[in-house]
């Protein structure tokens, strides 16, 4: 499950990279308040998200006994962030964002929970 989670996270990172490069997807991210490419502040948030996503993937891999072998609390922190992300994506004012990211973040949460709770 940790490898599936990490692979999906790579896909989300690809989405964030596209946002940074100017993809016109403002309506399906960060609350959906921007029509078209994100402004500089939104692109900075996307860049910070990439770092967070990398850390979460590594924490879940560690919880499953893989490199980088971080302590267990990092996996719990990743699970908490994933839960928060899931909730925020289900309650966003953007219907398009809810439709896309609600299910994706729910699957990511369930995968991470499967690893962390076993």
Structure tokens at 50: 């990439």
The band of 114, judged by pLDDT with boundaries at 50, 70 and 90, is very high
pLDDT attached to residue 10: 98
Average pLDDT (20-43) is: 97
Residues 2-15, buried b or exposed e (16+ Cβ, 10 A)? Answer: beebbebbeebbeb
pLDDT value at residue 107:
98
Q: Are 116 and 75 in contact (CB under 8 A)?
A: yes
Peptide bond into 34 cis (omega under 30): no
Query: Model-level pTM greater than 0.85?
Result: yes
Q: Write the DSSP symbol of residue 92.
A: -
- Could you tell me if 56 and 69 are in contact, meaning their C-beta atoms sit under 8 angstroms apart? no
Q: What is the pLDDT of residues 74-106, one digit of tens each?
A: 999 999 999 999 999 999 999 999 999 999 999
> For residue range 19-28, what is the model confidence (pLDDT) as tens digits?
999 999 999 9
Name every residue whose Cβ is closer than 8 Å to that of residue 110 and which is 6 or more positions away in sequence: none
């Amino acid at each position: 499950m940790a490898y599936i989670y990490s692979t999906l996270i790579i896909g989300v990172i690809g989405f964030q990279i596209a946002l940074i490069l100017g993809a016109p997807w403002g309506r399906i991210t960060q609350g959906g308040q921007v029509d078209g490419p994100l402004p500089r502040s939104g692109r900075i948030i996307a860049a910070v998200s990439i770092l967070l996503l990398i850390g979460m993937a590594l924490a879940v891999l560690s919880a499953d006994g893989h490199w980088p072998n971080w302590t267990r609390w990092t996996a719990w922190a990743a699970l908490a962030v994933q839960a928060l992300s899931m909730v925020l994506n289900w309650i966003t004012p953007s219907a398009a964002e809810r439709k896309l990211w609600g299910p994706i973040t729910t699957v990511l949460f369930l995968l991470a929970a499967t690893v962390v709770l076993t």
